[in-house]
Amino acid sequence: MSVAVDVANSDRDADERAARDPYGDARIEVDEKQLRTLSPSAWLEGLSSRLDDLANRLVWRQ
């Protein structure tokens, strides 16, 4: 991502680059537990692994 950011900011001066810095202070941070709670992909991953475990137990009769 940093290469794309560098290319996109190549025609801007230092003040404009600082205002649009994706790694700057004004960013959204979510801890991993909250992300897993809110993320649809995390829900699907959990569901998928549970279904896979169930299928393995049924197929192998364990």
Residue 53 has a pLDDT of: 95
Which pLDDT band holds residue 59 (cuts at 50, 70, 90)? very high
Q: What share of the chain is helix, strand, coil (3-state, %, to 5)?
A: 65, 0, 35
pLDDT per residue as tens digits for the range 30-58: 888 888 788 888 788 889 999 999 999 99
CA angle 60, 51, 36 (to 5 degrees): 140
Q: Where along the chain do its domains lie? A: 2-60
Q: Quote the pTM value.
A: 0.40
Type of residue numbered 2: S
Residues 6+ apart with CB under 8 A from 17: 9
